[in-house]
Amino acid sequence: MAQGKIYPSAASAVADVPDGAVVMLGGFGTPGLPQGLIKGLLSQGARGLTCISNTCFEPRADEYNVARLVENGQVSKLITTFIGRPAQEVPALDLWRAGVLQVEVMPQGILAERMRAAAAGLGGVFVPNVYGHPLDAGLEKRTLNGVEHVLAPPLRADFALIGAHRGDHLGNLTYRLTQRNYNPAMAAAAAVTVAEVREVVAAGGIDPERVVTPGVYVDRLVLEEPS
């Protein structure tokens, strides 16, 4: 049983992720990657997921990341910025070519800003058009201040699974160094945010000026399990 926002295990914190959910997965590389929660989602088995994650590489046996969920057949759509290096083949590409997996790629700055737009309750933001052909097809364009902009719509999720360093009982979070990456934006852009942390402290255990993600954005907190 959860006590307040504190859940006893990663499995219990992701038990209600339904088939077809839109799930943001935090992390850039290993820092900030919520590996325990992704492991829980693998075991839980929800299917038809839309997963939003910066990178999709080869699945690695020693790391729980989005590629493992793709490999496990749980993902029907992937929104990402990096699906292997330019000349590199990764398994997700075969699934995409076979029509089993939808893949939407976008520049990293646009992905981050779309999450931030959702987090800020905006209907959309005009950012300079950095897209190269053919990514910008279908986006509304407008010339503002003499520069072509695209209307970047907000990107929301049903769940955000994020990794952080320390959390208090109210869900306030700090990150260590580059653990931060997309996690604060994802935490604020999802209906239910689940954070995996290395340490849980009582309210007051984090200096208020050092809180990066305020607890109002965090619904569930899980202590990282030793690997």
Q: Which residues bind other proteins (CB under 8 A)?
A: 28-31, 54, 81-87, 89, 93, 96-97, 103, 105-110, 112-113, 115-117, 120-135, 144-145, 147, 149, 153, 165, 174-185, 209-210, 212
Q: Which of 86, 81, 55 is nearest to 70 (CA)?
A: 55
CB of 187 to other proteins, least distance (A): 10
CB of 27 to other proteins, least distance (A): 9
- At a CB cut-off of 8 Å and minimum separation 6, what does 85 contact? none
CB of 116 to other proteins, least distance (A): 5
Nearer to other proteins, 37 or 110 (CB): 110
Nearer to other proteins, 115 or 221 (CB): 115
Tell me, what amino acid is at 123? G
**Cβ-count burial of 134 within 10 angstroms (0-12 exposed, 13-18 middle, 19+ buried)?**
exposed
- At a CB cut-off of 8 Å and minimum separation 6, what does 174 contact? 164, 165, 166, 206, 210, 211, 212
Nearer to other proteins, 43 or 120 (CB): 120
Residues composing the chain: 227
CB of 6 to other proteins, least distance (A): 23
Nearer to other proteins, 144 or 203 (CB): 144
